């Protein structure tokens, strides 16, 4: 009789042990506790200097975990406190605490697509990077103004350090260091300069920096890609004949006011190496980060006899191209009349 009663009691004890001890453990470790908005994967950022407590606080603040106590228990059991890695992580809906901690502890973050178009100054670039990546604008500017670093890495200077940035989309890690970021962009810059592009560059007699500088002026002059090669031909003609470029965008850069709608005589008197009305040849560095079409327009510039161009008054964004001063003056007067009629001063 005693044996008959003992067996059920043992079984009952095992069941109670499972209920009291194993089931809570299972829930903490394996039960789906991560909930994302609309059930879609969500990005989560871990900053340098965070400990696992801060990570847990942010997960809770973003309502990604429903069992913070369980998260911390699992994190401690899996030694996450000693393996916190910064980065951008993609959190999936219905992850368990174990799956979440495994991901965060591994440091296997997901890269971002870093896209930029045009910047006119290092400061603009740094501000944008500060918004998109973990690094601060001050840290990036420190690198781009570090003469010794630039000389060793790229052979550039603080005045020309923006020249390697070619607008495009680049895959990189969100927590990339400023030095690594600059090295990466220089690597992309070197990759851009293929043998074919270098051969074209040599044919027109410009070095890489000069190509980027001329392309930056064209970038500011027109948005019409199909006339950029013709415009490049005008500037190359002027460089070859030792004429001043007289490019209005360089004057705006020299003045430091990119909102100027009409370049006046007072602007033309600003003493700056970027003022191509006062100083012949190309300015010392690009006045913006030129697009690939603008760069290729210089490399594939048209050979012609045009020495002038002037914006058309039809609002199309296209330009009249002229060979003689007289023809150009006629177009320029027409354009000035239009500006006067519109009250643009």
Helix (H) or strand (E) holding 113: strand 112-116
List the pLDDT tens digit at each of the 345 positions of the chain.
Answer: 445 545 554 554 544 444 445 445 545 555 778 899 888 999 999 999 999 999 999 999 999 998 888 899 999 999 999 999 999 999 999 999 999 999 999 999 999 999 999 999 999 999 999 999 999 999 999 999 999 999 998 999 999 999 999 999 999 999 999 999 999 999 999 999 999 999 999 999 999 999 999 999 999 999 999 999 999 999 999 999 999 999 999 999 999 999 999 999 999 999 999 999 999 999 999 999 999 999 999 999 999 999 999 999 999 999 999 999 999 999 999 999 999 998 887
Strands (E), 143-256: 168-172
- Taking each continuous run of H as one helix and of E as one strand, the counts in the chain are 16, 6
Helix (H) or strand (E) holding 29: helix 23-30
- What's 80's DSSP letter? G
With tokens 């008959």, the residue in question is 4
- What's 199's DSSP letter? H
- What's 22's DSSP letter? I
Give the pLDDT confidence of 27-55 residue by residue, as tens digits: 555 577 889 988 899 999 999 999 999 99
Query: In angstroms, rounded to a whole number, what is the distance separating the alpha carbons of residues 136 and 268?
Result: 36
Backbone angle region of 246, left / alpha / beta, with phi > 0 → left and psi within -120 to 50 → alpha? left
**What pLDDT does 217 receive?**
98
- Three-class secondary structure of residue 329 per DSSP: helix
- What's 98's DSSP letter? H
**What pLDDT does 67 receive?**
86
By the 8 A CB rule, do 142 and 130 touch? no
**What pLDDT does 83 receive?**
96
- Residue 233 corresponds to which tokens in the numbers above? 């031909």
Query: In angstroms, rounded to a whole number, what is the distance separating the alpha carbons of residues 297 and 47?
Result: 42
- Residue 320 corresponds to which tokens in the numbers above? 């009249």
**What pLDDT does 22 receive?**
46
> What are the distances in angstroms from CA 4 to CA 8, 11, 28, 58, 103?
7, 12, 36, 55, 50
**What pLDDT does 24 receive?**
57
- Three-class secondary structure of residue 88 per DSSP: strand
**What pLDDT does 20 receive?**
45
Write out the DSSP string of 6-73. HHHHHHHHHHHHIIIIIHHHHHHHHSB-B--GGG--EEEEE-TT--HHHHHHHHHHTT-BS-HHHHHH
**What pLDDT does 18 receive?**
46
């Amino acid at each position: 009789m005693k044996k008959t009663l003992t067996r059920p009691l043992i079984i009952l004890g095992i069941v109670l042990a499972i209920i009291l001890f194993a089931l809570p453990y299972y829930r903490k470790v394996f039960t789906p506790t991560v909930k994302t908005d609309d059930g879609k994967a969500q990005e989560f950022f871990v900053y340098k200097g965070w400990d696992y407590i801060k990570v847990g606080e942010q997960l809770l603040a973003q309502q990604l975990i429903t069992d913070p106590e369980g998260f911390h228990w699992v994190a401690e059991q899996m030694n996450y406190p000693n393996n916190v890695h910064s980065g951008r992580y993609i959190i999936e809906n219905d992850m368990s605490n174990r799956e979440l901690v495994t991901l965060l502890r591994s440091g296997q973050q997901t890269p971002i697509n870093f896209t930029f178009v045009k910047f006119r100054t290092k400061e603009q670039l740094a501000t944008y990077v500060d918004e998109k990546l973990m690094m601060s604008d001050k840290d990036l500017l420190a690198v781009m103004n570090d003469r010794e670093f630039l000389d060793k890495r790229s052979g550039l200077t603080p005045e020309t350090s923006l020249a390697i940035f070619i607008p495009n989309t680049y895959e990189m890690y969100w927590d990339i260091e400023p030095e690594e970021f600059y090295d990466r962009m220089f690597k992309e810059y070197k990759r851009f300069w293929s043998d074919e592009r270098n051969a074209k560059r040599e044919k027109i007699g410009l070095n890489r920096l000069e190509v980027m500088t001329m392309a930056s002026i064209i970038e500011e002059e027109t948005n019409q890609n199909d006339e950029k090669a013709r415009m490049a031909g005008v500037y190359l003609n002027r460089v070859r004949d030792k004429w001043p470029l007289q490019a209005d965008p360089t004057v705006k850069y020299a003045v430091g006011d990119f909102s100027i709608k009409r370049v006046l005589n007072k602007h033309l008197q600003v003493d700056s190496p970027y003022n191509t009305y006062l100083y012949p040849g190309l300015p010392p560095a690009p006045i913006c980060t030129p697009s690939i079409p603008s760069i290729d327009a210089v490399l594939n510039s048209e050979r012609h006899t045009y020495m002038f161009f002037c914006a058309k008054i039809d609002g199309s964004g296209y330009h009249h191209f002229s060979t003689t001063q007289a023809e150009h003056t006629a177009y320029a007067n027409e354009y000035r009349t239009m500006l006067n009629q519109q009250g643009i001063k």
